[in-house]
Structure formats: C-alpha cells, structure tokens
C-alpha cells in the first residue's frame, strides 16, 4: 500500500521555509452565514507565483540541488506548476523545458515565459502535454518533474495543512481542489496525522471528475474531458500515480460541482471576499454554494489554491 510518512511534510516545511510564504487563513462572514457555521479561506492565491505550487516544487528542487542531481529539467503543466518551476528554476540555477496544452490561459503563458524557461505548447489537454514532456525527458536525459505524482512534491503541498491547523485547530471539514491529486494527498496525510476526526473532502469540476470516478471504480480510469474555467483541474491521472492510493486511504469524500457553481464561486471570491481566484482555485467555494446544507453548523476550511485567472475571462464572468 502506498503511504506518505507525515514526517516528510515537517521536513519539507523546514526545507522550503525561506522560499515560500505562509499564507493567511481568513474568516468569511458571507460563507459562514450561508452554512450557518464557520467558513475559513486558506488563501494560497496569495502564495508566490499566485498558487500553492511553489511549495511542492521548492521541496523537490531543493532536494535535487542537495543531492547534486543534473540541472536539466522538463515538466508538463496546465499553468500553475509551470509558473512555480520557472520561478524556482531561475532562483536555484536549473534549466527547464515546460510543456503546456493548447488552451492554457494567456496570463499563465506570458508569466511562464517571463522566467526564461523554454516553453512548448503541445496537445489539447494535460495528459497529451505530459506524454510529450516524458518523451523529451527520455530523449534529452532530463529529469521529469511531475506536478502531482512525486513524494517530494506531495510533501511540500502538505505544509498547507500544518499552517491551517496551527491557525485554526478545530476544523471539522477541509475542502480541497483536486486535479491529479498532489495537493489533496499532502493535505490529507497531514490532517489525518494531526486531526483524525477532521474530514477531508476533494472537489472536482463535472467536466473532469477523474479522481472521483477512479476511486468509485477502484482503478484509474480515462474520461472524456469537457470544457471548464477550472482548467487547472482538467485532465487525467498517470496509470501509476501514487495519489490514487493516498486518496483512497486518506480522503473521506468527494463533491463534483457543475460549471455554473464554479463561475459563481469566482464571482463570489472577487465581489464578496475581495480576492482574485481562478476557477480551479475557487472550486471549494463552489461546493459550499452548491451544497450549503451539507456543511450546516460545521467549521469548514476551504483551500483557495490559486488566483491566476485571465483578466478577460474575469471581466466576462463579472458581466454575467
């Protein structure tokens, strides 16, 4: 059975402390009224590069640097992981190729290029970009940095839970966005080690509920991917991904939300919380908007995983 020692998460926090920011946990009055309880927002949209991703990437690259591993890297990403890799590669002296799928928001593409990485656009969705990145890794003898299927990356992401429970120890439920599962895997391991009664619930868009369907069927499955503004959560899962087993062991439940609620969540974050959140980053709020009675009277923490949304899309959402 695949497992992750919680001590690796504490080690990750010591390792990455000077490279990432401790993000705020903010009380939401509006969402608290909605659920008749307490709602707290863990604002990873305020993290370095605008998402939670530098936590895992910093932990991975700092370990590679300490072990004097080769400095030639390649990754695949729908945007936020690539931003983190670009930023930290430049800071730590690595050279990286980043493969993104067509349809990656312009705001993310421009930001990735600004870090001086070699950007390649390949495929219509994430898994096609990942296959291309692995081909490059094999042919050019580069190290492939997975956005989710890597113990070091997962441990780095788990540091979010350490901060969350230090700021608010009495949490009943944590809502976490899920794509490949790297974020929720790290958070769930840490939560269950420190607060076993706290429920960890993953949230996915109806356009790409791959982890939810895989767990329901007992194996990793392929699904047809639809369109969504939660593009950071779209795509499949590697056949050997360790996140599948970690989610099966530590994650309590999943919620799949329809696109209208994702759009409303982005609007809510800007208009009610004065926070810019991308679709995938706000999807935990979408779950509260869609099913408030499910959380009635509970203390709920929502991980706002990123804020890198295209400005034109945001304006369209605000216009309704």
- Quick check: is 108 catalytic? no
C-alpha 13: how far from chain center:
17
Catalytic residue among 89, 185, 195, 305: 305
Out of 28, 42, 53, 208, pick the active-site residue: 53
How far is it, in rounded angstroms, from Cα 318 to Cα 267? 6
Using CA atoms, how far apart are residues 255 and 212, in angstroms rounded to an integer? 8
Dihedral Cα 284, 17, 54, 239, nearest 10 deg: -80
Q: How many CA atoms lie within 13 A of 50 on its CB side?
A: 21
d(CA 81, CA 232): 9
Q: Which residues, listed in sequence order, are joined to residue 303 by a DSSP beta bridge?
A: 42
The dihedral through the CA atoms of 288, 181, 77, 228 has a sign that is negative
* Dihedral angle, C-alpha 143, 146, 149, 152, nearest 10 °: 70
**Alpha helix positions (H), 93-145:** 106-114, 126-140
Give the number of other CB atoms < 10 A from CB of residue 30. Answer: 13
Q: Which of 92, 185, 192, 85 is nearest to 144 (CA)?
A: 85
Is 228 noted as a catalytic residue in this protein? no
Distances in Å between the Cα of 281 and the Cα atoms of 53, 122, 181, 197, 263 are 12, 24, 14, 25, 11
Q: Which two tokens stand for residue 234?
A: 């779209």
Alpha helix (H) residue ranges in 22-70? 29-35, 54-66
Strand locations in the chain (E): 25-27, 38-43, 72-76, 95-100, 118-121, 143-144, 173-177, 199-205, 253-257, 299-304
Rounded CA-CA distance 28/201 in Å is 19
Active-site positions read 53, 305
């Amino acid at each position: 059975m695949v497992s992750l020692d919680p001590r690796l998460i504490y080690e990750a926090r010591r390792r990455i402390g000077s490279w990432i920011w401790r993000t705020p946990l903010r009380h939401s009055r509006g969402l608290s009224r909605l659920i008749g309880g307490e709602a707290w927002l863990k604002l990873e949209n305020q993290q370095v590069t605008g998402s939670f991703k530098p936590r895992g990437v910093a932990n991975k690259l700092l370990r590679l640097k300490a072990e004097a591993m080769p400095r030639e890297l390649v990754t695949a990403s729908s945007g936020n992981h690539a931003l983190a890799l670009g930023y930290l590669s430049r800071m730590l002296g690595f050279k990286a190729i980043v493969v993104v799928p067509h349809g990656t928001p312009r705001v993310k593409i421009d930001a990735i290029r600004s870090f001086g990485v070699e950007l390649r656009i390949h495929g219509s969705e994430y898994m096609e970009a990942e296959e291309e990145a692995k081909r490059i890794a094999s042919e050019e003898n580069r190290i492939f940095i997975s956005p989710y299927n890597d113990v070091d990356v997962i441990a780095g992401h788990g540091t979010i839970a350490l901060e969350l429970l230090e700021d608010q120890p009495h949490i009943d439920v944590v809502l976490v966005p899920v794509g490949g599962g790297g974020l929720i895997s790290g958070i769930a391991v840490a939560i269950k080690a420190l607060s076993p009664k706290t429920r960890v619930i993953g949230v996915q868009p109806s356009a790409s509920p791959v982890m939810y369907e895989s767990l329901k069927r007992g194996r990793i499955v392929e699904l047809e991917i639809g369109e969504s503004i939660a593009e950071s959560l779209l795509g499949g899962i590697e056949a050997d991904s360790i996140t599948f087993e970690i989610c099966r062991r530590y994650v309590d439940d999943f919620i799949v939300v329809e696109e209208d609620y994702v759009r409303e969540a982005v609007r809510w974050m800007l208009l009610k919380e004065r926070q810019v959140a991308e679709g995938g980053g706000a999807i935990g709020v979408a779950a509260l908007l869609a099913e408030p009675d499910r959380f009635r009277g509970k203390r709920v923490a929502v991980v706002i995983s990123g804020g890198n949304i295209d400005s034109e899309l945001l304006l369209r959402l605000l216009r309704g």
